[in-house]
Structure 1
């Protein structure tokens, strides 16, 4: 019928094949011939049953996201599903790979679903700031029950084929020959005879729903939403499936979808979806990537151990090097303990734990790194120490091995220059805990070979990281901007704000926690040590550290922590210290509002991002957004600092920065040239390096 949809008759069973690589998205050029094929087959006496299957590596993995927010060409998915539900003969979705979003909604339009044992099924629209817009919130509860559907839709997490058949979402699971088995199943259903009841008319599971239990579960999920609209809308739509007739619930779902798709939060989350895919791209179509089969990690401390786990989690053998047997044993014991915690939580099986532990080889001899294809240094953040390590690596690493430093701040060019092979050197800045945090800043030094960048970017995806390629400067993208965000924190306190007021303003904005609570969690001694190394001071934080108040680990920092609790409690002594320091410095205190706190912390953050673009440290504004959402907790519903800045409006940010520059005289508030260009054009495109 078309290049994307074809029909074949297999002894009375019509097989409709969708072929729209790479993921068989339901674009218009798929929907139109699919609708026409199903309309023709509905009344075709030669077809006793219909099987919908997909070519390539997956079933339909979703809608065409590029169409969201635009006028949809007809027929849309809802019309195809409605057409399926008018077909009296048995219809079967043959699912392999992933049936996600619109793909699962298409399958829900069929009478039956036969899945390959390795298939995943889910409705992940919430991760794009949306809810399922093709009837998923109304049909899924009719198969799996309202509580199960609520959990699947609000989390957006796919379930396995085994879970699907247990829940009632799949009717059969097969280990091989999916299409043949789906045809056999369809023929068997046709022989058995109808009537075949569409999912829309199956109300038994809904009738079983305990509405009070549903509302309690929905309330718990709402608490976790942290200002995101989509999870709440998803819960509302599933509740409508319980309380409203089918067509009314379907219409309500559509209204909720339209409201979300036109809103800033979904625009922000869709922006991030594409930004993550763009961030790790390395120019050059025909770059020959190097093979990475064994990884070496130098340092088995918190960072080194976490990095080693990240590679083992990606099924890569790891040689873990330490300076002493005691340090090595301690590091390996921590790794085993971390995996044991995952087993106790049910996120890892005992078998998988043992498999991962089997990938580790401990050593105290640099010679044992000679066979590694990638070696990551994760030692103390000191240039002399790191250059000494790279000198040793230069002597023992095999030709073509990639040498990476996990530095958070230091000059990767200087580190690379300490070797005879600077083209093989780059930065791999993991975020702690490295086995959990998604972000990886790949730091491009002046002489890093393009194929080295491409190899590491590809490897990052292999170990489940979101990679962003950045240039060399102090702190790269993330930590450089973090310094800008925190530059006013103590000034805000000295002028009259309290730590809890600053933290509340940032949490209300959407951050998981504020800067002072985060400081207590990380340990105030870390920042103290860094300041001393750079000849800097922070009058209040330094005093707290001199008193031995390092945060949660000592029970006191910016807050008190009672009896080992992680819950911060306002500390009146800290507030008294702030007032005393303000008096010593002759600073009059006043009321500081939430708006001022946001302007004096987040506008400098954006301004530093503009400088980073100006200098070419980041290639795109969207790269900065990916860094901040995945590494620092910037609210996902705001799309990252640069996307949010565009919504705020460049002119407003420039005007307020100039205001605070006049008030304080501090250079942090001097608008960057790139930000001024945004103020003129209202767009980031072209605002970067000139």
Structure 2
């Protein structure tokens, strides 16, 4: 663009959409901080601007761009749940596509949801190399509502379009270019290059996306693709509906396809699943706003130490390296040092071989990691995270050593899954600097981190944990100390109920299948095999001296461990594993049936409904207790833990949101109807009974 084409402002600068007038190419700028969301004012302004461009004889082409750090990054969340106001986004986007003059989108940052649909309707798209595109509506239980399912396949083809709209995943500009979603990548000045492209298009009939033909998929291939989407969705409705809408693009004209899309969008918007996913969306953001910490400043953290490079420690080290921290990994011996370094290198090598990472990025991240033997090398660290063996005395001894090594103000964190962090902190002279950072395996992948505070933990140390988690791009939940904190405490309780079901007549594969049908990615016994049965076994042995002798206790898991069956890592646990494939094992069936005989329990057929109802109630029961004990302050804390750490289906909104929607009394009634009345059945916890009786809700 020449200097004579530099845009000049027209209209009030306070408007969220304005025309920066040039000739022959004008520029429409959207300026609606922080993410240029498609609010009613933006929709109205954009429609008015397009209409003005169409009327203005001096303008022969137009570029749509955005101020600030991003292109249009989605809908205005403040309008969620409100009646839609005109102009509706589909009408605005149709006007863009129908414009008689070439329209080019200049995309930087993120073009998501409605922002991506705006770009799709333009006649060409130029993007910065760092830009991202996506239609993430399925993550809110919706489908694109302004033509995304109809225009995207016309640009990228059926297969790619189904993938993008059914998963909601985003693509970087380079992939968008390969797919055909983007026409050019900018090499410097994005707006100038977009305006140059617009000028090239003057006098040429605009290539309207909605008029492009799209090749239909073979009927068998289409059916198989929808079946694949349905399987991955695990009960979520929106992904399947989105895939089916994409397939319509080959058979229907644009406006008819958009009408079907809009009908589906409105239907889903009022659905229970969309309400649950919107709750999940807001809960994930609200969980970081911890009451009492609003004005507390975190400590500065850049140099991080990780003690222990086993499975957890290596993942934690990778998570910190990925986030740009200076990471030092410490082991107790040269052999452990070498094994830990190899483990971390292997994590990165697998990411390169799968195409998720380039060799250059791998090498850069590995260069941010250093390795030492012994804790004295950690003297310059701002934060040290221990990931050593789950034993109280081992951890207390380590923390005594760290206390003598680290500078004042350094934060000491333990990754313990169950142990009393207060007792670990008491081994130091600085308990105010100690907290739990409980990562979930694999730590470089799983989003959840439980930030566990003791009675002595300083507020700024808790704030530091939150700030670190944010930089790691994790979802943090702050909680107090108890055995298992939030997630593992609930897991232990519903795994116990699953074992009761075994003793009464179910088999591991039947319980797992029922819970996978409920929406979990894996059932409780498959999860145990993945995590390692020895971990829970060590906890049971630790708690055995204090266990109530009258408590019902199923010992099948102990017998598996005594037989050396610790799960996937030994090739056998609740299942046997052949070439990595999970298979039911007659050995386990024999142990289960023998346990029933010893307990004199008459085995019976247990329905899927009963399995789901009893495990759901076990989860809600323990959540009630956690809230009553103020281990967490808010029901949403429990929901976020269960969704991000344990696979509770997000389309259900988490166990406590779902309990509100169903009703606690209904949950109790479902269990009481299905559990046997004259045998070792279900005994609901006092917290759930009390809440059900009072009609209390978890959410207002």
The normalised TM-score by structure 1 is 0.93
Q: Distance in 2 between matches of 1:214 and 1:583?
A: 50
2:558 aligns with 542
Equivalent in 267, 282, 288 of residue 280 of structure 1: 288
Deviates more, 1:410-419 or 1:267-276: 410-419
Q: Name the CA shift for 1:297/1:49 in 2 (closer, same or farther; >3 Å).
A: same
The SS at the match of 1:56 is coil
2:270 aligns with 262
Q: Distance in 2 between matches of 1:400 and 1:37?
A: 55
Q: Distance in 2 between matches of 1:595 and 1:666?
A: 15
Superposed, which structure 2 residues align to 1:84-233 within 5 Å? Answer: 84-190=96-202, 193-203=203-213, 206-207=214-215, 213-233=221-241
Equivalent in 595, 611, 614 of residue 581 of structure 1: 595
1:625 aligns with 639
1:647 aligns with 661
The SS at the match of 2:450 is strand
The SS at the match of 1:384 is helix
2:476 aligns with 467
**1:19–1:55 Cα contact (<8 Å) kept:** yes
**1:443–1:469 Cα contact (<8 Å) kept:** yes
**CA shift at 1:69, angstroms?**
4.3
**CA shift at 1:428, angstroms?**
0.1
State whether structure 2 residue 93 is matched by structure 1 residue 81.
yes
Q: Name the CA shift for 1:217/1:495 in 2 (closer, same or farther; >3 Å).
A: closer
**CA shift at 1:667, angstroms?**
9.2
Q: Distance in 2 between matches of 1:329 and 1:235?
A: 48
**CA shift at 1:139, angstroms?**
0.7
**2:216–2:247 Cα contact (<8 Å) kept:** no
Q: Distance in 2 between matches of 1:682 and 1:249?
A: 45
**CA shift at 1:103, angstroms?**
0.2
Equivalent in 33, 37, 42 of residue 30 of structure 1: 42
**CA shift at 1:97, angstroms?**
0.2
**CA shift at 1:220, angstroms?**
3.0
Superposed, which structure 2 residues align to 1:285-434 within 5 Å? Answer: 285-434=294-443
Q: Name the CA shift for 1:579/1:567 in 2 (closer, same or farther; >3 Å).
A: closer
Q: Distance in 2 between matches of 1:9 and 1:121?
A: 28
**2:671–2:682 Cα contact (<8 Å) kept:** no
Alignment deviations for residues 180-219 of structure 1 (CA, whole Å, 9 cap, x no partner): 22233323322xx13213211122xx14765654544444
Equivalent in 477, 482, 487 of residue 496 of structure 2: 487
Q: Name the CA shift for 1:36/1:645 in 2 (closer, same or farther; >3 Å).
A: same
Alignment deviations for residues 42-82 of structure 1 (CA, whole Å, 9 cap, x no partner): 21223222222111110000112343443201111101012
**CA shift at 1:37, angstroms?**
2.4
1:448 aligns with 457
2:514 aligns with 505
The SS at the match of 1:242 is coil
Alignment deviations for residues 134-157 of structure 1 (CA, whole Å, 9 cap, x no partner): 100101111122222222222222
2:3 aligns with none
1:556 aligns with 572
Q: Name the CA shift for 1:46/1:466 in 2 (closer, same or farther; >3 Å).
A: same
Q: Distance in 2 between matches of 1:471 and 1:29?
A: 44
**CA shift at 1:110, angstroms?**
1.6
Q: Distance in 1 between matches of 2:197 and 2:349?
A: 43
**1:650–1:676 Cα contact (<8 Å) kept:** no
2:550 aligns with none
The normalised TM-score by structure 2 is 0.92
**2:288–2:477 Cα contact (<8 Å) kept:** yes
**CA shift at 1:509, angstroms?**
0.9
Q: Distance in 2 between matches of 1:95 and 1:592?
A: 56
Equivalent in 529, 545, 566 of residue 581 of structure 2: 566
**2:141–2:277 Cα contact (<8 Å) kept:** yes
Q: Name the CA shift for 1:427/1:10 in 2 (closer, same or farther; >3 Å).
A: same
**CA shift at 1:300, angstroms?**
1.2
Q: Distance in 2 between matches of 1:213 and 1:559?
A: 34
Q: Distance in 2 between matches of 1:166 and 1:578?
A: 54
1:600 aligns with 614
1:591 aligns with 605
Q: CA RMSD in A?
A: 2.2
Q: Distance in 1 between matches of 2:679 and 2:69?
A: 59
Alignment deviations for residues 538-592 of structure 1 (CA, whole Å, 9 cap, x no partner): 4222222223333333443323334x443222x3343233233222222222222
Q: Distance in 2 between matches of 1:146 and 1:666?
A: 51
**2:90–2:147 Cα contact (<8 Å) kept:** yes
**2:107–2:127 Cα contact (<8 Å) kept:** yes
**CA shift at 1:679, angstroms?**
5.9
Equivalent in 237, 242, 245 of residue 245 of structure 2: 237
Aligned residues: 679
1:611 aligns with 625
1:48 aligns with 60
**CA shift at 1:649, angstroms?**
1.1
Q: Distance in 1 between matches of 2:539 and 2:293?
A: 38
The SS at the match of 2:233 is coil
Q: Distance in 1 between matches of 2:171 and 2:532?
A: 38
Q: Distance in 2 between matches of 1:667 and 1:196?
A: 67
Gaps of 5+ in 2: 1-11, 548-552
Deviates more, 1:642-651 or 1:177-186: 177-186
**CA shift at 1:337, angstroms?**
1.5
The SS at the match of 1:610 is helix
Q: Distance in 2 between matches of 1:388 and 1:508?
A: 45
Deviates more, 1:458-467 or 1:76-85: 458-467
Q: Distance in 1 between matches of 2:89 and 2:580?
A: 51
Q: Distance in 2 between matches of 1:123 and 1:622?
A: 26
1:9 aligns with 21
